[in-house]
Each structure stands twice: as C-alpha cells, then as structure tokens.
Structure 1
Amino acid sequence: MKPRTARICLAGAAAALATGLVLTARAGLPGLPGIGTLPLPGGADLGPHPYTVTAVFRDVTSLYPQSAVKVNDVPVGRVQEITVDRDDWHARVTLRINGEVRLPEDAYATLEQSSLLGEKYIELSGPGGLTPRPDLDIRQAADTREAATGRLADGDTIPVARTNRNAEVEEVFGALSMLLNGGGIGQLNTISRELGQALDGNQDTARSALRQVSVLAKNLDAHKGDITRALDHLNTLSATVSARDQKVGAVLTRLSPGLKVLKEQRGGLVTMLKALDTLSATAVTTLDRTQADLVADLRALAPTLQRLADAGQSLPDALQVLVTYPFTDEVLTGVKGDYLNVYLRSTAPPGTTILPAHDTAATPGTVPLPSVPAQGGGTP
C-alpha cells in the first residue's frame, strides 16, 4: 500500500472514530455509556463513602458533567448530573462530594471559572466563607464549623437562594461596551490618552486623592456595623411612617391652612422679628450702661438676702402667728369645753367720762355695777 493511501485510510478511521465518540456522547448506545459519563483524569478523590448533594441554579452556562467541585480551590468532588426542573426551569446540578469533607448545612454554591478561558467548576462555601486557618487543612476547617451549624448530609438540596454564578466574559465585555458610549471600544485609546493628559503633572494630587479614598474606605469598613445599624433603624422608621401614612397625610393636609396663614402674615412676622431685634439691641445697650449700678444694687441687696436666709424656719413660723394675731395657736389649749372664759381688763384714756353706777335699788333682782374711777385724771 502506498504511503499516501495509508495516510488517507488512517485519517478516515480517525474521523469515523471521532464521529462515533461524538454520537455516543450525545445519544449513547444501548449498553455503552456516553463519553460524558467517563471520569476525567486528575479529578478529586471521592473516597469510599461519597455523598450526594443537589444545587439548584438559575442557569449553569458552560458547566458539564464531571466538572470539578471545590472548597477554597481544593477539589473535593465532581458534578454527576445536570437536569432541568420542568416546573420552574431551573438547573438541578447533582454533586458527588468526598465523604470525609463535611460542609455546613447552610452552605452556598457558586459557579466559578478557573481562568479567563478556563473550565467551569462549582465552588462550595459557608455563609461567611470557609477560610481555614494556616495550621488546618480544608477538612479540619470544615469540621470546625460543626459546632455552630449542622452538616450538609446526603440527599440535601442547596436552594436557588444560596446559589449564584460569576459574570461571563461576554457579559463583562457587553457591559463595558455599554459603558464606553454605546459600544465604542475603539475609544479606549482616547480615554487612556485623555486620562494620561489629565494626570500629567498632577501625580501628587492623584496620589493624595487615592490615599484619602483609601482612608475613607478603611473608616467606612471600621464603622460598617454602625452604618448597618443606622440603615436598620432607618428601615424601621420608614416602616413605621409607611404604616401611619394616612395619619401623616392628615397632618400634612391640616398643616396647609396654617402655612397659608403664616404666608399671609409673613410681613407682620418679619416686622415682629425686626422689633425683637431692635429690643434686643436696646436691652443690651441698657445693660451695658447700667452694669455698674446693677452690680452695686445686687451687692447692696446681698446682706438683706443673707439675713432672710439666716432667719430660716423662724420667718414662716412668724408669718403663721401674724395671720392669727391676737389669738395664737396656744389659745386652743385653754379651751376645756364649749366656752372660753376670758377676763378683760381695760384702761380708759385720760379725759374719759365714766357714768355713775345705775341705781338698782328700785328694781328687784338686779345687781348694781361697781363704780370704777377713771385713771389718769378722768371724771367719775
């Protein structure tokens, strides 16, 4: 056989073999598994007791069976099967994971890419990321999470709420084209040139601005807890205001007439404020001019106030006696019954005429009054 004929036969055989492999991979022959089911060389070691977990994605662009499953970039399993849920049209990815690797029950699944044009794989992580300590391997790091959460068991499902995927290269370039004025990627040169001209001679200012931005970012990161709490409180306030929107609307509606009145009386309010300003200036001037006299009056009043303070409780006690004069509270101790025996002695002033005693001899049953001489030269 001639060499050229041999080469043609080998090429035809290779083409036929490739065609058969493609057909087998797409449809599969009875009794012969598809090429997509064959394990890839160098894959993760599943161990003797692997377990199965299902992750639900909205889409799994360019992900194929036998793709790697990693935790912190360490292969721990592979993709076993990819199906489509007919109810919500979400992709259900079945994962086979090494039985010695235990993940938290609230683990997340993300569709990652090893490089710009590299293979796709599934990255598993905890809510805060499974970043191991330098002295722990990935299995020990996963075991340290067991105290805080349960384990991801065989047959569990990671819902679509805890799955995500990275942006595709096409999506990045599409967004970049939208950013650059409707897809003008050729304008990158112009943008770069203009940016260079803008920074030419302003390197120190640009570095200072970048340092300030870095300090601002660090301060924001240090106070992210306070910012989060402020946003939560603002959310609570917004919810409270939203629940009382009718009352707020009623208040604003009733406030409108008052604002209208204020608008109508704006001139009077301005005049009043000007008058208050003039009064304030006059009062300040008066106080400045009479400051010495006012201080002297206050100092002169200080002894009187000191004496009142020294009187203490005596002053209110004296005021109580003043309102009951001449009968003080001690009078009540002399009352033994319903009547009070009072002996009254009076002295007539000089020049007072005292009438003589009434003659009661003719009137039986009467007692004559004694004749009291007037003191101080009075006439009896």
Structure 2
Amino acid sequence: MRRRWVGLAAVFAVLTSGLTSGCEFEGAYDLPLPGSPVDEDHSYEVTAEFADILNIVPRSPVMVDDVTVGEVIEVDRVGWHAKVTLRIRDDVVLPDNAIADIRQVSLLGEKYVALEPPSEGASEERLDDGDNLSLEATGRNPEVEEVLGALSFLLSGGGVAQLGTITEELNNVMGGRTERMRHLLGSLESVVGTLDAQKDDIISALESLNSLTATLNRERETIQGALDVAGPAIAVLADQHDELVAMLRSLDRLGVVGTRVITASKDDIIASLRHLQPVVNRLRAAGDKLAPGLNLLVSFPFPQEASEIVLGDYANTSIKADFNFSNFFSAGGGGPLPDLPDLPLPGLPPELLNQVLDCIASGNLGSKKCAKVLANLNLLAKLVEVCERPRYEDRPVCVALALLQAGEIELPDLPGLPLPELELPGLARLGQSLTSTGPSDRPSTAALLGGDG
C-alpha cells in the first residue's frame, strides 16, 4: 500500500514538472472564458502604446462605433508606458493610422478601447496583423474623479469665489448711472452695426494688409539695407539740427514777408496779368511758327548756324568769299574784257594753296586739277606767284605757264572752262582758240598741255 502512494506521488510530480516546464501559468487570466467576442482563428492582432491605461485589463472589450469587435488579450509595460495587445475580428476594416482611445461605457461603467479612423488624412493601407499604434495615435478620456476634483477646486478656491466681488463692484459702477449705461449700450449697438455693415471692407483691408506684410517679408533684405543706409543719414541730420531749425525759422520769416508783399502788390499783379493777356493770345495764335522764330532770335542778325561759332570760351569759324568775274563779264562774243589793275596776291587758306600745289605736281596744265586753278582768279594769281619761285620754275606746269606769259603759245578753250581775257603782270591773253605761232622750235601745245589728266 505504501508503494502505491509512492508511485502516485511520483506520477504527480512528473506531470507537475512537465506542465511547469512546458508553459507558464499567470493565473485566472490564462483560463478560457465562455462568450468571447472574437474567434482566435478569424481575427488579427495589433498593439497600441498608451501613456496611461487606467484600469484596462485583459478581456476588456475593443469597440468601433460603440460595437464590440474584439478584446484586450495582453497588457505589458514598455519603459514608462504600457503596451496593449488587441485582438480584432478580421472583418473589421480600419486604416493603419487609426486612433485608439480609452473610454468608459457609462459614468461608473467599465473601460474599453475605442478604435476609429483619424478625422483627416486617413491612410489607404489597412490595419493588419502585427501593426502598432504609437503614443501619438492613442489617448484617454478624463476620469470622473478628475472632473469632480477640478470642479471642487473651482468652487472652493477658484474664480467662483470671486464672482461675488465682481458683482459688487459692477453694482457700484452702475449704481445711479442707468441712463448713461443705457446710452452707452445704444452707442455700442450702433458701433457693432456699423462694423457689421463694413465687414466686407474690413476683410478686404485685412487681406490687403496680409499682402503688404507678405511683400515686406519678401523685401526684408532690401528694407534692412535701407535702414542700414538711413542710419548715417539720420546722424547727419542730427548734426545739422541747429542749421535746419534756423532754416525753418528763416523760411517762416520769408513766408511772412512774402505774404505782406503779395498782399500789397496784388492789384498791380492782377493788372499786369490782364495787360499780358493780349500778348499771350498772340503767342498762342503764332502756334508752330513761334519756335523757329525764337531760334533765329538767339543768333540775330546772323543765321542760326552762327550759334555754332562760339564753343565754350573760344570761337572757331572760317569765312570764304568766292568772286568769279565770269559771272560779271561775258566770256564769248562780248568783246575783250577791260584791263584790270594789278591785283595783290591775297593769302590763301591751306586747302586752296594745296590745290595750286596739286596742279603743279600733276605736270599737266590741261589736267582737271589745273582746270580748278585756272577757273579761279585768286588761284591763278597764286599759281603765277608760286611758279616764279626757283624751286618750281622748272616744273612742266610752270614752264607752260611761262610760255603763255611770253605769248609763245595760247591756251585752248578747254570744255567746261570759260576763261575771260585778263591782263595781269606777265600773263598774256587767255581764252582764245587753240593755235600755235612763233618759231618752229617752240614746244608744241600738246606736249605742254598733255591729255585731260
């Protein structure tokens, strides 16, 4: 008999050791309870982290829109907050960024975990097995004890105790001033009505102010630079403070004197303006003709181009007088020209003297360059003068001119070159038809005149 009890004890010890070694028993929460709202085979599990879970325990319900859809199966501590494992029916569809709150069924009812989608920005992904709701997505409702404690603080030592003092002071302020308060309230009603009527304008002004503020914000660096530059300018104005004040006082005295002068001469000024009216009317009638006349008035009695003579502190101009005696005397069929007295050789400008030198350098008295010289009395006299110099007397042009002077040859009437018959010192007859006279050893006219050049 004793051996039978020893054997039973050994079997019980083995069974006990097997149970304790295979799983961990945590009490009554591990025992299955009938009537569970969710089947383990048709559900998924998610976790939610709470800063405070109040008295949520395993088997507490999980609700969506006040309908039980699951239960709490485990509560763990992670650091300084709690981590709750929720088992939810697999036919419940929630976004993966759902919100979890701990709420109460009634004033003294049990606590439950409420799941709901966020008010904005719901995710398109579904809350699924293994997902976790962080602390930012969880919360709880205030407890009844907390509400009653805050109410007791308000009633005992809060603002309610001061309502009596406030009421008494209001009575003291309004006592005996009923009519004035009524008038004030009436005025306040008028002001509020005016503000209500102008609300569109006020909104527009606020929007414009908002736009101005945005513009100022964009131009912040420019404004900062302007303020930095304004600093030295303000310092200069501060240094010139006394001078500015003296200037303003002088302007004030000038204004007084000017007012006195204008008042005293008002009638004369009006009379002068009336006398000017006919002049102004005439000027207006002149119209576009007035501006050219004013331009001519500046340089009168000289032409308008005379204004370009004076350039700053000096004058620069040239005057050319070209006298062509062929315009005064007939060159053909009118008989010989009268004898002219000896003419002095005037000084020539450099450009005209260059024409004489170009004629000599051409080597051809019949060239176009010499034609210009022969057509001008002053140039012709200058040519004679230059050819008398030893430096130029052997030049072909000067040799031909000397033969003309000696009467050994006569100048042809070149096309386009009407030359009058002139008698100058040493210059023979000019402008006759081309002939050759004199000894046979005289140089030919063709050799002396050459081609057209």
- Do they fold alike, i.e. is TM over 0.5? no
Q: Whose radius of gyration is greater, 1 or 2?
A: 2
TM-score computed with the length of structure 1 as normaliser: 0.45
Q: Which has the higher contact order (CA 8 A, sep 6+)?
A: 1
TM-score computed with the length of structure 2 as normaliser: 0.39
